[in-house]
Amino acid sequence: MKHITLLLILFLGSASVDASSHSKDKNHLKKDCEEMLAGIVWLLEDADKEWAFLKDNPEGSPEFIEHTLKIKWLTDVAANYAEIYEVFCKRN
């Protein structure tokens, strides 16, 4: 769980640094949208990988719970970014 938190901090940190360079230029917006979409895909792919661990661990075990929580976190973050993507990228 620690590495996921670290990745989120890095992901959000790079997004916030990049946010300062935003302009109304369509090329910047397109690049930002492509990066956001890539981030969403990465989160969902990582969540998908976590499902494999559930097959090998009995329900209710600490490992099962840990991987279930990772899946929930990854899909929640992906859903939040997907909502932002819909608002800012699908319009343009």
Establish if 15 belongs to a structural domain: no
Establish if 32 belongs to a structural domain: yes
Residue-level pLDDT at 15: 52
pTM for the whole structure: 0.66
Establish if 77 belongs to a structural domain: yes
Percent of the chain with pLDDT over 90: 46
DSSP code string of 30-54: HHHHHHHHHHHHHHHHHHHHHHHHH
Establish if 58 belongs to a structural domain: yes
> Structural domain tally of the chain?
1
Residue 75 CB: number of other CB atoms within 10 A? 17
What is the rounded CA–CA span in Å between residue 49 and residue 83? 23
Establish if 19 belongs to a structural domain: no
Residue-level pLDDT at 25: 66
Domain containing 73 equals: 25-88
- Residue 20: exposure state from Cβ atoms within 10 A (0-12, 13-18, ≥19): exposed
Establish if 16 belongs to a structural domain: no
Mean pLDDT of 22-31: 70
- pLDDT tens-digit readout, 7-19: 555 555 555 544 5
Establish if 49 belongs to a structural domain: yes
What is the rounded CA–CA span in Å between residue 50 and residue 71? 6
